[in-house]
A and B are shown apart, each in its own frame.
Chain A
Amino acid sequence: MHSGGNASSLPLVGGAPEPTINQLSKPGRRASRFPKLDVPVTEINNPAIRHDKPSLPEVSEHDLVMHYSRLAHRNFAVDVGFYPLGSCTMKYNPRFADFVAGLSSFSNSHPATPSAFTQGNLEILHELEKFLIEITGMDNATFQPPAGASGELTGLLIIKKYLEENGLSNKKDIIVPDSAHGTNPASAKMAGFNVVEVSTDVRGMVNIDDLRSLVNENTAGLMLTNPNTGGLFEENIMEISNIIHENGGLVYYDGANLNAIVGVCRPGDMGFDIVHSNLHKTFATPHGGGGPGSGPVAVKGFLKEYLPGPIVEHNDDTYEWYMPKSSIGRMHGYHGNFLVALRALVYMRLLGKEGLDTLGSYAVLNARYLSSIISKVIPLAYNEPCMHEFVATVKHLKKSHKIKAYDVGKALLDKGFHSPTIYFPLIIEEALMFEPTETQTVDTLDDLAETLKVIVEELQGDDVSLESYPKNLPVGRPNELIPAKHLTVNWGDFELLEITE
């Protein structure tokens, strides 16, 4: 191992299970203190008022801090180690962005504050819009969608409304590749479209013949990510977008894989009409253990008036909210995840032209290098140059030794790495999808490939119990059936189950 802590040491502290905060509770303890009430007391008379105290744990502040700090020690994170996690772009999240997001009036503005008092906030959104439309090759953007899936739904509702207003309500089919992210078909369904799957050809790209056969007068649009979920650049993208446009449909860009092409090429130049970006992927905002994200949607000028609003407009020297005339409506209670958007702008500002022009190139360099050295250990799914991520497969190991992608992922955890994305895309058997991002060193990439080699050999040994991996972590593989069957989703549920069973 050459890369130091992130690959050679186990970052997670084991020991006894951590009790819940409820188990640490003792009557009469408390952390909170409030100033004494400084107004005269009035009798509160309302039938909705309760006369007992709410049910919450009672703990001291020190116990509280120790409890949550111990839990932090049981959690892997970008700041702790390497996530070669395909489709998730787990790059370094600059600390500095958190500092800016913490500046008082950014973090403490009430969302209903009139724009006259929040010119700074509106300027942030305006500046970010300028960066985003330049990077994606679009004309206008909204920051309402709080995550990628919400961005997808926004895009689809825009397509729907655009078609309706143009007398094309018959167009009900959204074409989605069979390799697409699960959110694509789920969002299309939510927006009231029929989902039509287009197959993938042997090279791993959209099957153009199949696409032609599926497109007709009912085609509303196509959802695509480029590079696609196999990590391959759709070389025929212009032909694809032309096929959809010729049939009166719109082309939607799923921005999950935008990191690969920042500074290299732009969705707007490839014929895409609508783009969502995942700021928590491409633009380095912290993933937060599953959120908050931010999924701004950028569109070509002819779709501006359909954007969810209000959006920011710059007139003379002031910024104002503007509600697009044919807006699909609101996607969020206020302005989306503003502090996430702010962090993304900080990242873009720090990188500037120098960093953004080469962002995609370095992301691809790392992935291409990693694919080259990993291909010496396990085969790749496609014999094509990868972009920012690539898919390998262990179907041969499953055949010969019953070793599944799942087992390889679990064994990697023991060695201090997060598992790659497994079983995705669904069309590749025993898939392991790797995305290193541009912020990892070549040493770390070497260590991952070397570790994979060690694991694959180890797992093929006699007497190996695959289920016993991971072995060196606070817990082993969880029994996933118990909670699904018995709904042990609340404290006390599991203990109750043990008593009754």
Chain B
Amino acid sequence: MFVPHSEIDLKKMFEELSISSLDDLFTHIPETLKLNDGLNVPSTLSELEAISHFEDIESKNTQNLICFAGGGHYDVYLPHTVKTLTMRPEFMTSYTPYQAEISQGILQILFEYQSLICDLTDMELANASLYDGATSVAEAISVAINKTKRDGVVVSNGFNPNTKEVVNTLVDTKKFNIKYVDLVDYMFPEDYIFTDSDAAFVVSLPHYEGSAQDLTTIVQNAKAAGVITICYVDPSMLGILKTPGSMGFDIVVAEGQSMGSPLSFGGPTVGWFATKKELARLVPGRIIGESRDANHTKTYVMTLRAREQDIRREKASSNICTNQTLNAVGSTIHLSWLGPQGLYEIGYQAIQKSSYMKQQLINLKFNISNAHNSLREFIVQTSRPAEEVILEMGTKGFLAGIKYSDNEILVAVTEKRTKDEIDNYVKSLNEVDNA
């Protein structure tokens, strides 16, 4: 299938090669290695048959769960305009833009992507994407280690546990000392003392638990000790939160799913990475620059290539090659579609609806662990085991949130949720938890 060769084509090609069958192509391969009976896989399906095959599997997922889960991935409305433009075949089926002259489309969009992210975070240089938020945190820590040549890494405990697991995999824990610092009342302690062996300080804005604080003083303290400060930010809240740059951070990373990608069961999404120009030569991944051709026509091109694996091999700043370009295209078009008012509204409505939901829960005697400093995401306490509650809420049509502890659920509200959905959720949770 998708092989175009007709009998006439084969005859012509076999003649050119003086062979009489496809098998004759492989006379140099040891006979013992050849698959004589071929592969043990099912027979070909026509498109028509494949539709029912895959629709059948798809139907085994519980359909239309109303999503109150977050933790980095948010059910933000993704406009059709953004989806259809992103999936234009000229973008979707193109290769990495090494040949600038025939890749100005992708190159310019990635340049816009970098610029938009810098504007939104108050940074100076963004790369053209990393795999996801979790791996971006690990890459940022590597930059800090390379810059400072120190071996301590201070990480706020207010992170999605999966992100911490990725950091533990990708940062050599035998060589580097990762110190996880507990939040106090859901805030990173203002009086935390950094030492001159700390390479990096990594914190999430808002914290995984949904609480947010102005981190300016902590960043100042870290920087006074020569520590590289890294902020992991929720992009869909950037319309309403102070920028990481204004708080003084050196590096900003993000899980960019909520800007331009569907939830996708977690992938493909996109990792944002932005920093100051002084760290340019340590940045992982591809970077697009603006230049001119011989006729002084504006031309975009991949730049600072001397950092990358195909040139520097084992001395590269990272091994990353293929990244998440198409998701970065999605972020670009989504942010342009939103504009300042739209991005503000996503954050504002999420916080308002979350406040309403917390109040409704409190009215029914639920305890919210972090009611007062949380924004769009918060922790609700359950009397029954959180796992059971989440499973039962599923039968009522809700993805209730993410299990936070044995008796706590992390609940996220996006601008997409309606008052009715929230009211029904609260009513159902009350029934389930008091059953």
Pick 21 A–B contacts, CB within 8 A, sort by A.
A32-B342, A54-B343, A56-B335, A56-B339, A61-B337, A75-B104, A113-B69, A113-B265, A185-B314, A188-B314, A263-B39, A292-B323, A293-B322, A333-B162, A353-B44, A356-B38, A369-B16, A384-B28, A474-B104, A479-B299, A488-B289
Residues of chain B contacted by A157 (CB below 8 angstroms): 169
Would you call A418 and B95 a contact (CB within 8 A)? yes
A48 at the interface (CB under 8 A from B): yes
Taking a contact as CB atoms closer than 8 A, the residue among B106, B333, B415 that contacts A290 in the complex is B106
Interface residues of A in 352-390 (CB under 8 A from B): 352-358, 361-362, 364-365, 368-369, 372-373, 384-385
**A348 to B, closest residue via Cβ:** B41
| Chain A, residue nearest B172 (CB) | A192
A162 in the interface, Cβ–Cβ < 8 Å?
A: no
| Binary CB contact string for chain A from 252 to 291 against chain B (1 if under 8 A, 0 otherwise) | 0000000000011110011000000010100010111111
Is A68 touching B291 in the complex (CB atoms < 8 A)?
A: no
Residues of B within 8 A of A492 (CB): 115
Cβ-based interface call for A393 (8 A): no
- Please, which residue of chain B has its CB at the minimum distance from the CB of A48? B212
Q: A333-B132, A474-B104, A483-B301 are in contact. Are A111 and B241 (CB under 8 A)?
A: no
A217 on interface, CB distance cutoff 8 Å:
no
Whether A48 and B356, one on each chain, are in contact in the complex, defined by CB atoms closer than 8 angstroms, is no
Known contacts A58-B339, A113-B65, A365-B13; A287/B96 CB under 8 A: yes
Residues of A within 8 A of B295 (CB): 476
Q: Determine the distance from Cα of A477 to Cα of B102 in the docked complex, in whole angstroms.
A: 10
Q: Which of A135, A385, A494 contacts B39 (CB 8 A)?
A: A135
- CA of A150 to CA of B134 in the docked complex: distance in angstroms? 13
Interface residues of B in 247-306 (CB under 8 A from A): 255, 262-268, 277, 280, 286-295, 297-301, 303-306
- Interface pair A55/B120, CB less than 8 Å apart: yes
Q: B211-269: which residues lie under 8 A (CB-CB) from chain A?
A: 212-215, 238-243, 255, 262-268
Interface hits, B364-380 → A, CB 8 Å: 373, 375
- Distance in angstroms from A464 CB to nearest chain B CB is 15
B2 pairs with A92, CB closer than 8 A:
yes
The closest CB in chain B to the CB of A414 belongs to B101
Q: Encode contact with A along B166-187: 1 for CB under 8 Å, 0 otherwise.
A: 1011101001000000000000
Bound state CA distance, A121 and B264, in angstroms? 10
Min CB distance B120 to A, Å, is: 6
Per the 8 Å Cβ criterion, residues 308-337 of B in contact with A are 308-316, 318-327, 329, 332-333, 335-337
User: Is B431 located at the chain interface by the 8 A CB criterion?
Assistant: no
What 0/1 readout, one digit per residue, does chain A (474-494) give for beta carbons within 8 Å of chain B? 111111101110011111111
Residues A65 and B160 in contact, CB atoms below 8 Å apart: no
How many angstroms between the C-alpha atoms of A283 and B433 in the bound complex?
46
Most chain B beta-carbon contacts within 10 A, residue among A41, A47, A96: A47
B384 beta carbon closer than 8 Å to chain A: no
Task: From the candidates A100, A192, A357, A419, name the one contacting B54 in the complex (CB within 8 A).
Answer: A100
B288 smallest CB distance to A (angstroms): 7
Q: Does A330 have its Cβ within 8 Å of any Cβ on chain B?
A: yes
Do B340 and A55 touch (CB < 8 A)? yes
Q: Are B4 and A475 in contact (CB under 8 A)?
A: no
Most buried by A among B88, B135, B303, B315: B303
Partner of B301, one of A103, A182, A235, A480: A480
Flag whether A402 is at the interface (Cβ < 8 A): no
Contact between A20 and B111, CB atoms less than 8 A apart: yes
Stretch at the interface among A83-91, A208-216, A451-459: A83-91
In the complex, are the beta carbons of A90 and B95 less than 8 A apart?
Answer: yes
Q: A71-B105, A292-B268, A334-B265 known; 12 other A-B pairs, CB under 8 Å?
A: A34-B346, A37-B348, A185-B313, A289-B103, A289-B106, A292-B322, A361-B23, A365-B22, A441-B4, A441-B9, A478-B299, A479-B292
Pairwise interchain contact B291-A482, C-beta atoms closer than 8 A: yes
A183 to chain B, nearest CB (A): 5
Q: State in angstroms the CA–CA spacing of A113 and B386 once bound together.
A: 13
Q: How far is the CA of A331 from the CA of B138 in the complex (A)?
A: 10
With contacts A333-B160, A349-B53 known, is A56 near B102, CB below 8 A?
Answer: no
Roughly how many angstroms separate A259 CA and B67 CA in the complex, as a whole number?
40
CB pair A186–B242 under 8 Å, yes or no, is no
Rounded to whole Å, the gap between the CB of B258 and the closest CB of chain A is 12
Whether B92 contacts A134 by the Cβ 8 Å rule is: no
* A462 interface hit (Cβ, 8 Å): no
Q: Are A352 and B322 in contact (CB under 8 A)?
A: no
- Cα A384 to Cα B42 in complex, Å, equals 35
Q: Is A340 in contact with chain B by the CB < 8 A criterion?
A: yes
Interface residues on chain A, number (Cβ under 8 Å): 190
The verdict on A88 contacting B112 (CB below 8 Å), with A329-B166, A329-B169, A442-B5 known, is: no
* B193 CB within 8 Å of chain A: no
**A112 with B71: CB separation less than 8 A:** yes
Top 6 A-B pairs ranked by shortest CB distance? A483-B289, A334-B266, A111-B266, A352-B44, A75-B105, A32-B342
Whether A106 and B61, one on each chain, are in contact in the complex, defined by CB atoms closer than 8 angstroms, is yes
In the complex formed, the residue of A with least CB distance to B351 is A44
CB distance from B174 to the nearest CB of A (A): 8
A429 CB-CB contact with B under 8 Å: no
CB of A489 within 8 A of CB of B303, answer yes
| B40:A148 contact, CB within 8 angstroms | no
Find out whether the CB atom of A340 lies under 8 angstroms from the CB atom of B268: yes
B28:A147 contact, CB within 8 angstroms: no
Q: In this assembly, does A1 line the interface, its C-beta being within 8 Å of a C-beta of chain B?
A: no
B114 at the interface (CB under 8 A from A): yes
Contact of A148 among B41, B303, B322 (CB under 8 A): B322
User: CB distance B268 to A20 under 8 Å?
Assistant: no
Whether the pair A353, B43 counts as a contact (CB closer than 8 A) is yes
Is A53 in contact with B341, judged by CB distance below 8 angstroms? yes
Query: By the criterion CB–CB under 8 Å, are A350 and B1 in contact?
Result: yes
Residues of A near B33 (CB, < 8 A) are 237-238, 265-266, 269-270
Tell me if A438 counts as interface (CB < 8 A to partner B).
yes
**Interface flag for B362 (CB, 8 Å):** no
Q: Are A76 and B265 in contact (CB under 8 A)?
A: no
Question: Provided the pairs A50-B240, A110-B75, A112-B73 are in contact, do residues A385 and B25 lie with their beta carbons within 8 angstroms?
Answer: yes
| A4: min CB distance to chain B, Å | 12
Chain B residue nearest to A334 in the complex (CB): B266
Residue of B55, B99, B120 touching A103 (CB-CB under 8 A): B55
B149: which A residues are within 8 A, CB to CB?
Answer: none
